[in-house]
């Protein structure tokens, strides 16, 4: 019979137990993003020193390439040692600062845990 008659009613699905939080991919994504944030904070001093070395080499290669182009164009050569500057004075800011990577990890963690909370809320309220 139909539902309005009262003889038979549609069965209400039984709600099973809510699965553990570790079954969610959002939990693991958030956890790995948090670990990336903690790891970035732990290596920040070493990262800055190493990044300074890499960027110094990069700038040196840029100057050498510009000098090769000058010589290929027939211009008089410039001594690169005369144009060299103090590495610490030149590189006060980094090309790739660590805070951008940390901000990305923090955003990933925040989004992941927000989606995890949304998922858990839906699991509790949906029949």
Mean pLDDT to the nearest integer, 83-98 = 69
How many whole angstroms separate alpha carbon 11 and alpha carbon 13? 6
* C-alpha angle 111-114-120 in degrees, rounded to nearest 5: 140
CA distances from 15 to 18, 33, 60, 119, 125 (A): 8, 32, 66, 15, 10
**pTM, 2 dp:** 0.66
Mutual orientation of helices 25-42 and 44-72 as an angle, nearest 10°? 80
Residue 109 has pLDDT above 60, yes or no: yes
Mean pLDDT to the nearest integer, 70-85 = 76
Give the number of C-alpha atoms closer than 13 A to the C-alpha of residue 32, restricted to the C-beta side: 6
pLDDT in tens, 8-38: 666 656 677 888 999 999 999 999 999 999 9
């Amino acid at each position: 019979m139909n539902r309005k008659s009262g003889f038979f009613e549609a069965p209400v699905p039984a709600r099973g137990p809510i699965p553990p939080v570790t079954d969610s991919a959002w939990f693991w994504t958030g956890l790995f993003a948090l670990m990336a944030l903690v790891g970035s904070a732990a290596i920040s001093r070493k990262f800055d020193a190493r990044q300074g070395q890499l960027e110094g080499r990069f700038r040196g290669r840029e100057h050498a390439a510009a000098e090769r182009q000058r010589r290929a164009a027939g211009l008089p050569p410039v001594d690169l040692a005369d144009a060299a500057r103090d590495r610490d004075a030149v590189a006060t800011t980094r090309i790739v600062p660590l805070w951008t990577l940390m901000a990305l990890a923090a955003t990933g963690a925040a989004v992941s845990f927000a989606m995890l909370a949304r998922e858990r809320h839906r699991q509790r309220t949906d029949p």
